[in-house]
Amino acid sequence: MKTIATLMLIAAAFAMSGCNTMKGFGKDLQKAGEKIEDKASK
C-alpha cells in the first residue's frame, strides 16, 4: 500500500505544471511525503 501511494505521488508530481522551479517542486513533494508518513504511522 505504501509503495503504491509513493508511486502515485511521484506520478502526480511529474504531472503537475504549477511548480515553476525545482525548489517549489521539492517543497510540494516534501509536503505530500509528510502527509503519507502521518497516515502510515496511524
Per residue in 5-41, pLDDT tens?
888 888 777 766 555 566 777 788 888 888 888 888 7
Q: How many residues does the chain have?
A: 42
Under 8 Å CB-to-CB from 25, ≥6 apart: which residues?
13, 16, 19
Q: Provide the grid cell at 21.
A: 522551479
Q: Provide the grid cell at 41.
A: 504511522
- Residue 24 has a pLDDT of 74
DSSP character string of the chain:
-HHHHHHHHHHHHHH-----SHHHHHHHHHHHHHHHHHHHH-
Measured distance CA(38)–CA(34) in Å, rounded: 6
Domain boundaries, the chain: 2-41
